[in-house]
Amino acid sequence: MPLSNIEKHYNKHPEDKRLLRRHGIVEFETTLHHLHRFLKPGARVLDIGAGTGRYTSALMTEGYEVKAVELVRRNIEVFLEREPTADVVQGDARNMPFLPTAWADVTLLLGPLYHLIGDEEKIKALNEAKRVTKPGGVIFVAYLMNEYSILSYCFDEERIGGLLERGAVDKHFHIQAQPDELYDYVRLEDIDRLDQGAGLERVTIFSPDGASDYMRTRLNRMSEETFAHFIEYQKSISERADLIGAGSHVVDVVSVVDNGTSMD
């Protein structure tokens, strides 16, 4: 069976190394900071699109019961080399019949929606995450942001004119991903629409990386002390409405409604 674009990408670009680089560390530490707001003793965590298991490993170390699902076989192999006792299975975020309904207190969906093109495919994954999460539980949903791609790839690489001409970027400078492309990019209004379509209610939304992707070289030059302050800075500003959407990622924390009420 031929490899999908996603498998080809992760076979070539090791995900395990990304979160160990400084811009990735900012994303990882800020996301964990927010996760700890919702994790209670004995909580069950489901990590869908677990990659090489960085979040699963960290949460297992803290004593949480974690199940992980990952599409790419190579990522699972790297994952199990580092965490041989992990409960990880290969699967697609849109259809996970092997997982029981309402199993998780907290569900992570920190990668799959990058690669699912269009609302219909994204809502399939959101609905499946909703199914496997307990009523009153929360789902952490990560998205790739439109403006980061527009600035970093379309303008910085001098591609914007050609992309506008052929309709790959519309007149409002929103990227129009095609079904065979690897990534889809969103704005906040797109995320709002997806939440409504899946019947999910936002608890909070935050930027896990802020300016860090734009500052990779500068981050690498920082002293350990200054870099530690930068991580605390990003944690502090990550929910600011005037800054959400400016970084490369956003994480939407949504609740699974329980009898008409959502989790506070």
Share of the chain above pLDDT 90, in %: 87
pLDDT of 261 higher than 60: no
Average pLDDT, rounded, for the chain: 92
Distances (CA, A) of 153 to 16, 50, 162: 23, 26, 12
Rounded mean pLDDT of 231-255? 95
pLDDT of 260 higher than 90: no
Read off the pLDDT band of 262 (50, 70, 90): very low
Read off the pLDDT band of 114 (50, 70, 90): very high
Angle between helices 5-12 and 73-82 (to 10 degrees): 40
Higher pLDDT, 248 or 19: 248
Closest C-alpha among 191, 229, 218, 219 to residue 207: 191
Domain boundaries, given as residue ranges, for the chain: 5-144+186-255, 146-182
pLDDT of 7 higher than 70: no
Each residue's pLDDT tens digit, 169-192? 999 999 999 988 999 999 999 999
The string of DSSP letters for the chain reads -PPPHHHHHHHHS-HHHHTTSHHHHHHHHHHHHHHHHH--TT-EEEEET-TT-HHHHHHHHTT-EEEEEES-HHHHHHHHHH-TT-EEEE-BTTB-TTSPTT-EEEEEESSHHHH--SHHHHHHHHHHHHHHEEEEEEEEEEEEBHHHHIIIIIITTT-HHHHHHTTSB-TT--B---TT-S---B-HHHHHHHHHHHT-EEEEEE-SSTTTTTTHHHHHHS-HHHHHHHHHHHHHHTT-TTTTTSSSEEEEEEE--BTTB---
Residue 11 pLDDT: 65
Each residue's pLDDT tens digit, 11-64? 666 666 666 789 999 999 999 999 999 999 999 999 999 999 999 999 999 999
Task: Give the CATH class of 5-144+186-255.
Answer: alpha beta
In the chain, the amino acid numbered 24 is G
Radius of gyration of the chain (CA): 18
pLDDT of 258 higher than 90: no
